[in-house]
């Protein structure tokens, strides 16, 4: 099968299009013929070697972290799916590889594709929607009437998180550029801060939750908009001791992660708020709930551009500009 791979970690390097064997199917996995895959910032970070200590991949490695397609074969212990099912999913972190014609994925990491979406639209959903769900529902326990600030509302995670927060019944503020003010408003944002005109930390106050996907400066400024008891959740780091424990890292790496987040945890304590780092996990059950919300019209995917499979490198470069509105997708078939 054709696939886009990396042979070594190298910042900004092009992926190599090559012929590789079809993945071996384990007894609890389904083999999915991939119709479409989405491109995420994490793909560039893996290629650049940013996660090589935490996620020790064996190279060469097929990149790609979520997809939609058709089940072509099932393992002997698979009970939820059959050949011909249209599915979407996010493989486990040690089983990635959706920039390819096929992927073997655990049945616990895929769900039936939302019926009202095309394959390209469905492929745009899993990673960002699971991230939004686990941040807002699992970690923040967001409630109706609460106030949440979602940074980068026109980005992949932000666009879904705004809609999910509105569905829950929260008041939603977001940051974005002038060009995307109308987009985030159409997704349901109640308060829109144009970061080219205003500093969000001077405009917003008394918030229950902040979802951060940006850098260190934004993370620290976010403390000022939270009320005592508020929650600062970051998907862009730094990793905290809880993540270090969950990741099964060695003692030395756990201490390094503890040190990386020491400053923001200390500042959070001073502001009487909690800080946590979220690294999303696959979940068939959550994808099923997300599919129900999509089919009910509560959430819609936002797709900026669809690239043909052979232009995967161009798709990744476009994501790296940081200017994509919503998601960038690769049409594999």
pLDDT tens digits for 212-239?
A: 999 999 999 999 999 999 999 999 988 8
Instruction: State the pLDDT at residue 263.
Output: 93
Nearest alpha-carbon partner for 300 in 180, 183, 137 = 183
Question: What does the pLDDT look like over 259-313, one tens digit per residue?
Answer: 888 999 999 999 999 999 999 999 999 999 999 999 999 999 999 999 999 999 9
* Mean pLDDT (whole number) for 173-187: 97
Task: Using pLDDT thresholds of 50, 70 and 90, give the confidence band for residue 254.
Answer: confident
Summarize the confidence of residues 182-186 as an average pLDDT: 98
Is 244 a residue whose pLDDT tops 80? no
- Strand ranges in the chain using DSSP code E only, listed in sequence order: 2-6, 16-19, 29-39, 61-62, 67-74, 86-89, 102-106, 110-112, 147-150, 171-176, 191-194, 207-212, 226-234, 274-277, 303-308, 327-331
Share of the chain above pLDDT 70, in %: 100
Q: What is the pLDDT of residues 50-92, one digit of tens each?
A: 988 778 899 999 999 999 999 999 999 999 999 999 999 999 9
Q: Hey, what are 145's tokens?
A: 């009437």
For residues 69 and 83, what is the distance between their CA atoms, to the nearest angstrom? 11
* Percentage of the residues of the chain whose pLDDT score is greater than 90: 90
* Residue 16 reports pLDDT greater than 90: yes
| Mean pLDDT for all residues in the chain | 96
- pLDDT above 80 for 137: yes
Q: Is the pLDDT of residue 326 over 90?
A: yes
Residue 302 Ramachandran class (φ > 0 left, ψ -120 to 50 alpha, else beta): beta
């Amino acid at each position: 099968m054709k696939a886009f791979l990396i042979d070594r970690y190298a910042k900004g390097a092009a992926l190599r299009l090559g012929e590789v064997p079809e993945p071996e199917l384990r007894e609890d996995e389904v083999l999915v013929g991939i119709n479409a895959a989405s491109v995420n910032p994490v793909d560039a970070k893996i290629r650049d070697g940013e996660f090589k200590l935490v996620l020790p991949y064996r190279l060469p490695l097929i990149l790609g972290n979520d997809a939609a397609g058709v089940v072509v074969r099932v393992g002997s212990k698979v009970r939820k799916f059959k050949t011909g099912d249209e599915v979407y999913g996010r493989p486990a972190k040690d089983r990635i590889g959706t920039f390819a014609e096929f992927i073997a994925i655990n049945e616990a990491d895929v769900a039936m594709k939302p019926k009202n979406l095309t394959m390209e639209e469905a492929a745009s959903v899993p990673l960002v929607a699971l991230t939004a769900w686990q941040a807002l529902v699992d970690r923040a326990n967001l409630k109706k009437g609460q106030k949440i600030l979602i940074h980068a509302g026109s980005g992949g995670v932000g666009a879904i998180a705004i809609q999910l927060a509105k569905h829950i019944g929260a008041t939603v503020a977001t940051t974005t550029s002038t060009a995307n003010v109308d987009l985030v408003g159409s997704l349901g944002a109640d308060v829109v801060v144009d970061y080219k005109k205003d500093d969000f930390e001077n405009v917003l106050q008394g918030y229950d939750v902040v979802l951060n996907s940006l850098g260190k400066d934004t993370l620290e400024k976010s403390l000022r908009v939270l009320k005592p008891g508020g929650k600062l959740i970051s998907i862009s780091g730094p990793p905290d001791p809880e993540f270090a424990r969950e990741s099964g890292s060695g003692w030395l790496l756990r201490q390094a992660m503890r040190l990386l987040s020491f400053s923001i945890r200390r500042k959070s304590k001073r502001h009487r708020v909690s800080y946590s780092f979220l690294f999303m996990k696959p979940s068939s059950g959550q994808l099923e709930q997300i599919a129900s919300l999509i089919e009910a019209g509560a959430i819609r995917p936002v797709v900026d551009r669809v690239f043909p499979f052979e232009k995967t490198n161009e798709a990744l470069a476009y994501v790296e500009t940081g200017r994509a509105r919503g998601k960038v997708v690769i049409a594999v078939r």
